[in-house]
Amino acid sequence: MSAPLLQTTDLRLSFGAVVVADNINFTLHEGERLAVIGQNGAGKTTFINICSGLIRPNSGRVHFDGHDITGLAPRAIVRRGLARSFQLPQLFLEHTVRDCVRLAAAGRLGRLGLWSPLAKAVAASEIEHVLEIVGLRERGGELCEALPEGQRKLLDIAMALILNPKLLVLDEPTSGVSTEEKHGLMATIMAALDTRKVSAIFVEHDVDIVTRYATRVAAWISGQVAADGPPAEVLADPAIRKNVIGE
C-alpha cells in the first residue's frame, strides 16, 4: 500500500483529569473516505483539532503527506493540503457569501495583494462552480449573516472545498442540514471530492450516511479508537452498536 496520507503516533491530550486523546495511533491512506463516529465527548473533534493545528497534543506526532505537522500553525497545515470545515460554521459574517469563498480561494493562491480587488483575484467561474456545488449560487450576493444555519454550514464547507486540499476534514457536515437535504448534500460533496481525488474524514452521527458514503469507519470511545474497519464490519459490532450508536 502507498505511504499513509495522515498518520498519528501515540497522540495524547488531556484536559485536567479528562483524557480526550489516549494514545491514538491512526493511519489514513489516500482515497479513503473515513467516517468518525462516537458519542459526544468521545474526542472526535479533539482529534480533528489536533490534526488541523487548532490545539497541540501533550505528546505524540502527526504526519501528513510525509511531513511532521505536529504543532504547526493551522495556516501552515492548510498550505500543505489539509483543509477542514467546522461543526459550528466559521464564516465572515459581515462579508457576502461570494466574498467568503473568494477570500478562501485567494488564501489558497497566496494572493494577498494590496492593489488588485478581491472580486478579481480569482476566476469567477471557479467561485461560481463551488457555490453551485453547495447550492448557494443564488445567494452569492447576500451577507452571510442573512443565511439560515443549514446554509451557513454549506458555505463553511464550500470555503474548505475551494482550498483544493489533498485531505478534507468535515466536522459533522450534515448537522443542522434538513433531513431531506442531507443525502443530496453528501452525494454532491463526495462527487466533488471524487472528481478532485480528495481523501476525506467526516465526523457523522447518522448511521445511514456513514453506511452509504464511508469506505471505512472509526469509532471513538473515551479518547480511544475502539473499532476501525469497513462500515459493514464496524457497524455490525455489538459493542459499537451498544456504546456508540446507542442501541
Partner 1 sequence: MSKVQARMGPAAMPTPATQPASARSRPIVSPPAIAAAVLLVLALLLPVVMPWIKTPVIIAACFGIAALGVSILIRAGQMSFGHAMFSCAAGYAVAFAARRWPWLDSTVLIALGTLVGAVSGLVIGAFVVRYRAIFFGMLNLALSMVLFAVLGKFFTLTGGTDGMRLARSTFFGMDLERAGFETALLVSVVALALGLGLLVRRYLNSVAGQALSAIKTNETRLEFLGISAYRVMLTGYVLSAALCGLSGAVFAITQGLVTPEMGYWIRSGEIVFISILGGVGHPVGAFLGAAIFEFVKVFAGAYMIGASHLVLGVVLIAMVFFAPRGISGLLTGARKGGQP
Residue whose C-alpha cell is 501533550: 58
Residue 224 C-alpha from the chain's centroid: 19
Q: How many residues bind partner 1 (CB under 8 A)?
A: 54
A 10 A CB-CB count for 94 gives 9
**Each residue of 64-76: b (16+ CB within 10 Å) or e?**
bbeeebbebeeee
Judged by CB under 8 A, the residue of 30, 39, 92, 212 near partner 1 is 92
134 touches partner 1 (CB under 8 A)? no
137 touches partner 1 (CB under 8 A)? yes
121 touches partner 1 (CB under 8 A)? yes
Residues 197-216 that bind partner 1 (CB under 8 A): none
Q: Which is nearer to partner 1, 141 or 148 (CB)?
A: 141
Smallest gap from residue 43 Cβ to partner 1 (A): 20
21 touches partner 1 (CB under 8 A)? no
106 touches partner 1 (CB under 8 A)? yes
Give the DSSP letter string of 165-224.
Answer: -SEEEEESTTTTS-HHHHHHHHHHHHHHHHHHT-EEEEE---HHHHHHH-SEEEEEETTE
Judged by CB under 8 A, the residue of 28, 50, 62, 104 near partner 1 is 104
Judged by CB under 8 A, the residue of 112, 187, 236, 239 near partner 1 is 112
